Structure 1
Amino acid sequence: SDNRSHFLYALDMPRMLSRLDSDQRRQLNEALDRKALYYLRKFVRNVADIRSDQRWAASCAPEIAELYNRALDRDDVQLAITPMTRDPATGRAYIPGSSIKGALRTAWVNHKLQTAPDRPRRPREFEPDLLGYRYRDEDGRNRFELRADPFRAVKVGDCLLPDNSNSIERVQIYKPDRKAGAPDPSGIHMFYDVTFSALDGEDIRATGRLIIDQRLAGRRGPDRGRWNFRNCVADAISAEQLLAACNEFYRPRLDDELKRFPHVHEHAGKLSEIAAALTENQALIRLGRFSHRECVTVPPRRDARPKHGSTRSLVSGDLPLGWVCIELREV
């Protein structure tokens, strides 16, 4: 595909600088003295050795490579690219376990809301009340015991992505009432290091580990000091329950996104087919900074409708970001 015909490289600058000879160091000092990015960029472009100085690389479309090359000669263009989380030693991209755990937690909080007493809750007490780690002290005041949070028992490891699974893409803001060809309402160019997906005809898989310590929900809490809970954590969670909670939370939000944004449905309707074909050991979640409001917040009451944003952040103006299928296999 076009997105694999060009590459952008992230350089290991300390490594490159460590091998400069005396003449190259002189050129570097001269470039620094001129106090303009153009001269530094020109120096790096002339001196860098892609094979030895490369930290990591990601493919990009020809138009992005052309835009980047043109902008190298302009001091007023920052050329900022937001990289995906990567191993600092190897440069390999990965999905942080903390990001996955956060998505699981949001779905679980929503699940608990569906069966909890329907009453007003202060924002600060919302999660502690639903997850069970709120208690009242001797004076009748609400207190929270983070050590009793059920998600203390849930551990999610980082998921390493395979080589050549990423691409540098332009992310654009899509607004349904904006005319075709109108400028991006954000007014800026945003470039991100993202993974390919099924919408590109690719099959990108990352493997990690989910561990749930069921003993904490069945073991009595500490005897010393004041412990206001029966066991070490306030509630038990199973992997199967988490999968069900994820589908309960995220699948309606995908359906709603495709319904509210016809342009997204036109280019990413395949997501609906993927979601409909999920098996018992699979679930849909959404990860990353472009997950949008309705996928990272829970309504204050179970009968309240989720609050949606009026725009979408789309790759190349067409494809939504963050939708992920997770699959559990017992090891």
Structure 2
Amino acid sequence: MQTFKIEAQVVSPLHIGTGEVYEPTEFFIDPSRRELCIIDFEKFCAHFSASELQKFKKICFAGTLQSLLNLYAFVDQTCLNFLNQGLRDFIVRRIELCEGFLEHYRRMQSLTGKQLEKEFNKFTIYRTAFSPNDNQPIIPGSSVKGALRTAVLNKRRHKVQGKSYQDYCRQNRRGRIKCEAKKLEQEILNYENFKNDPFRLIKVSDFRPKGPVKTRIVYAVNRKKDGTSARGPYQILEVIEPGAIFEGEITIHDPPPRIKTKDSRKTCLISAPVSFEELIQAATAFYGGERDREFEDLSQMGASVPLFPEEGTPLRVGRHSGAECVTIEGFRHILIRGKGKNTYQDHATTLWLAGEFSKVHNPSGLKPFGWVVFHKPDAKGSKSSGKTSSTKETKPGLDVSKLGKRFKLVVKKK
């Protein structure tokens, strides 16, 4: 078994979603500093006066769309009042906002009726992956391992030379195409089930910040490769800013010993294990090629091209990594949505890019998502790590648990 320490440097805005979003009771907007401030809900409530607590209860129990807007306004104003009183202990951290967010936020609060409903449904701020212990952003090991697996699948795709996606796809009764990606992977990596999968021997830790890490709220906008607007609606994402450095470990376990079958022949459980050297070679070849291809597309459409360090191994992780970076070359069957008719191609026709505004008139400020660089590691012995847990302090005499539960039910309905 070998364990390799890795440093991962973020090169372009990175968002790895976990399904969590920032709820109205979890943040307020500080317009003077153009920041979204994450708050400790219990400490925030602990500063309430009797009248503020009653007003907060009334808003939470209203259960209407307008009451959710009122909740935004209440939390914003109350937090700003606390700041004017010198109270800051309820602020967990601050996140910089992109240029268009403040105007968008104010405009949404002035809407009513169907316009409000339409806009509010899109106004969801997706949180990037984080550690629950210290509230700091992380790069999950599962994302890194998935990206490495894609690279190795592309490196070994010669194992199924002569075949195409059609050999692994079939049409169901409704006329839809269903592709058996798992079967393709099994043939490329030469395994039948999980115990024979060579990636069972590879363990990737979560990557944690090495020093300060900044996050930012941006818009994800869909653009055609000719630079014009595409059909995809914008999204609001928290991203890790370029320049952040994370550290983690990749452990390669030794293959299990050969076992004897009934006919006395020896069979290896994992016939084609993956070495660390192959991981690096595969990532360099696959993601290096995809990087060059995408950067050419970005230059042609007038978007920003990130600067890569001179040394290191490129990798693509997180949301909006691009269809080409998560599929196997030669077996791509990418859905292209059109007006009244959908088609399939071997390449994507649009890109999701990080921008300052929900509507983009000039693509020059747009940036690609998810590019990171692995720096050359040193092989070291295996290490073990323990998990720690932390609990939040609650001020005696103030029970806000019921309010929190009630609010979550309201949000789910909406």
Query: What TM-score results when the alignment is normalised by the length of structure 2?
Result: 0.63
Matching residue of 2:186: 128
Which of these residues, 69, 81, 94, is aligned with residue 138 of structure 2? Answer: 94
Residues paired across the two proteins, number: 295
Secondary structure of 1:267's aligned partner: coil
Q: 1:7 to 1:211 in 2, by over 3 A?
A: same
Matching residue of 1:284: 314
Which of these residues, 74, 77, 80, is aligned with residue 43 of structure 1? Answer: 74
Contact 2:213 2:244 (8 Å CA) reproduced: no
User: Quick check: 156-165 or 99-108, which moved more?
Assistant: 156-165
Which of these residues, 367, 381, 389, is aligned with residue 319 of structure 1? Answer: 367
Matching residue of 2:54: 26
Of structures 1 and 2, the one scoring higher in RCO (CA 8 A, sep 6+) is: 2
Secondary structure of 1:103's aligned partner: helix
Which of these residues, 153, 157, 161, is aligned with residue 118 of structure 1? Answer: 161
The structure where strand makes up a greater share of residues is: 2
Q: 1:248 to 1:164 in 2, by over 3 A?
A: closer
Residue 62 of structure 1 deviates from its aligned partner by 4.0
Q: Which runs of 5+ in 1 are unaligned?
A: 134-143, 198-202
- What CA deviation, in whole Å up to 9, does each residue of 1:206-240 have, x standing for no partner? 11111111x225x224x6999x9833433222211
2:370 is equivalent to residue 328 of structure 1? no
Matching residue of 1:160: 208
Contact 1:148 1:229 (8 Å CA) reproduced: no
Matching residue of 2:231: 185
- Matched to 1:311, the amino acid is T
CA distance in 2, matches of 1:229, 1:70: 70
- What CA deviation, in whole Å up to 9, does each residue of 1:151-207 have, x standing for no partner? 11111111123434211111211213455xxx6633x4421111222xxxxx32111
Contact 2:226 2:301 (8 Å CA) reproduced: no
Q: 1:69 to 1:54 in 2, by over 3 A?
A: farther
Secondary structure of 1:155's aligned partner: strand
Report the aligned-residue RMSD. Answer: 3.1
CA distance in 1, matches of 2:236, 2:100: 12
- Matched to 2:371, the amino acid is W
2:295 is equivalent to residue 258 of structure 1? yes
Q: 1:177 to 1:299 in 2, by over 3 A?
A: closer
Matching residue of 2:258: 220
Residue 308 of structure 1 deviates from its aligned partner by 1.7
CA distance in 2, matches of 1:225, 1:284: 46
Matching residue of 1:307: 346
Contact 1:293 1:307 (8 Å CA) reproduced: no
- Kindly, what percent of the aligned residue pairs are identical? 23
Q: 1:129 to 1:22 in 2, by over 3 A?
A: same
- What CA deviation, in whole Å up to 9, does each residue of 1:4-46 have, x standing for no partner? x632122333443355443322111222354322221222123
The structure where helix makes up a greater share of residues is: 1
Which of these residues, 171, 177, 182, is aligned with residue 220 of structure 2? Answer: 171
Q: 1:83 to 1:62 in 2, by over 3 A?
A: same
Contact 1:152 1:233 (8 Å CA) reproduced: no
Contact 2:320 2:370 (8 Å CA) reproduced: yes
Q: 1:224 to 1:91 in 2, by over 3 A?
A: farther
Query: What TM-score results when the alignment is normalised by the length of structure 1?
Result: 0.78
Matching residue of 1:140: none
Contact 1:96 1:157 (8 Å CA) reproduced: yes
CA distance in 2, matches of 1:243, 1:193: 29
